[in-house]
Amino acid sequence: MSTFVLLHGAWHGGWVWQRVAPALRAAGHEVYAPTLTGVSDRAHLLSPSVGLSTHTEDVVSLIEAHDLTDVVLVGHSYAGQVVAGVAERVPDRLRTRVHLDAFVPDDGDAAIDLLPETVAGHYRESVSGPGFGWLIPVRSLAKLGVTEQADLDWLTPRLTPHPWLTYTEPVRCGAAAASVPAVFVECTDWMRVFRPQAERAADRGWPVHHVATGHEAMVTAPAALADTLLSVAA
């Protein structure tokens, strides 16, 4: 059996995996779903200095403290950057890495530069205005493909602003990260902001899976996502 480490995207916390983790555990796998520094239940640690390196260290420390091996490291959206950074640091502890509708960076890439130009422009405008120059305000869930009122009611009060430095700090990932087998999972029933990342993954020879749901697959299609993750682990 493998150990899943599930990483949330911007504005979320580890709680977002509550609908997926039980299916992984029922199949016999160990599951960790940490909250990254500065958001959700760790929002009390938020400051302008929280960046990508902070979040990379969060995950490396978790893996090392629990002496985890054979890890299936899953990163949603922004956390594709974190997955790449962690893979560079502890490749020997990872079985595979899964980029779930997520960034697929090269060494030195910043997340903001991997977004489509229009979307990146919206981010910069919101940061410079209501984000006080260092925060990314919560994005509209409708734009992320969440349409069910029950899902909106569950997500909305739990989301918190995200530190801007995580999107502007370049990732460090080279040969060590490239040595870890990788998979891409694209969510297809929304704006498909990460379609260029799926294409980049395919160009690298990674398997690419598709889930017919919006960007928040762990909320809107947890069973289908769990099945996909279990197939990757197998």
| Catalytic site positions | 77
Tokens at 104, concatenated: 């697929």
Q: Whose CA is closest to 58, among 29, 79, 28?
A: 79
- Supply the DSSP symbol for 164: T
Cβ within 8 Å of residue 21, ≥6 positions away: 4, 6, 31, 33
Structure tokens at 161: 């602003």
Residue 219 near residue 19 (C-beta atoms within 8 A) = yes
Q: Which long-range contacts (CB under 8 A, 24 or more apart) does 57-63 make?
A: 58/34, 59/5, 59/7, 59/34, 59/86, 60/86, 60/89, 60/90, 62/5, 62/32, 62/34, 63/5, 63/90, 63/93
- Whether the CB-CB separation of 14 and 6 falls below 8 Å is answered with yes
Q: Are 39 and 13 in contact (CB under 8 A)?
A: yes
